[in-house]
Amino acid sequence: MKTTTKFMASAVAAVALFFSTNVNAQGPKLGIGINAGIPTTDQYNFTLGADARLQFDVSKQLSIPVTVGYTHFFSKDYAPEFKQDYGYIPVKAGVKVFFDQSGSGLYGLAEVGAAFGVTDQAKTGFLYSPAIGYSWSSGLDLGVKYEGISSARDANPIYDKNVGHVALRLAYGFKL
């Protein structure tokens, strides 16, 4: 495992441990979501994924999310020797800022982490993901994100080395 990957995994684990030991009267929230997206590279048709996000509230307007899941890029119908899907497990942490003082409504989110490739010729890459969304007090959450991965694939002239997608995320969150 590369040093960068070890560092990213350690950083995510440290953030999760630090905030899980923080005494917060409200407690953390867990969100379960599904993602559907459009790839930003030509070799894929669409993406599907699911994730779980543990959110630690620092204040009503500021949260620290830690997210893990699975995302799959579905390849276009090329010749069989060129058709190859791409799947990865994202592990990321970030900052979520609500623009309303109530702690719900419109928010901005920025996350970084690692994408652990699980399909042929997939590698572990650096993952970054800005997003905007709207969270209702009932627990429903709807967001739009861009997720980019650098060095996701082997340096093969057939495949793009870096991949990304714009996705719609529908989730439901609840307090633990």
**Per-residue confidence (pLDDT) for residue 5, from 0 to 100:** 52
**Per-residue confidence (pLDDT) for residue 23, from 0 to 100:** 42
Question: How far is C-alpha 133 from the chain's CA centre?
Answer: 14
**Per-residue confidence (pLDDT) for residue 152, from 0 to 100:** 66
Token pair, residue 122, equals 């997939």
In the predicted model, is pLDDT for residue 126 greater than 60? yes
11's enclosing H/E stretch is helix 3-20
State the distance between the two ends of the chain, measured CA to CA, in whole angstroms.
Answer: 34
33 vs 163, residue with greater confidence: 33
In the predicted model, is pLDDT for residue 144 greater than 50? yes
Token pair, residue 60, equals 């009503």
Instruction: Give the Cα separation of 72 and 87 in Å (integer).
Output: 4
Percent of the chain with pLDDT over 90: 59
User: 64-102: per-residue pLDDT in tens?
Assistant: 999 999 999 998 876 566 678 889 999 999 999 999 888
**Per-residue confidence (pLDDT) for residue 149, from 0 to 100:** 92
In the predicted model, is pLDDT for residue 9 greater than 60? no
DSSP class of residue 45 equals: E
Mean pLDDT over 109-117 rounds to 96
DSSP class of residue 59 equals: S
Question: 3-state DSSP call for residue 176?
Answer: coil
Domains of the chain: 3-175 (2.40.160.20)
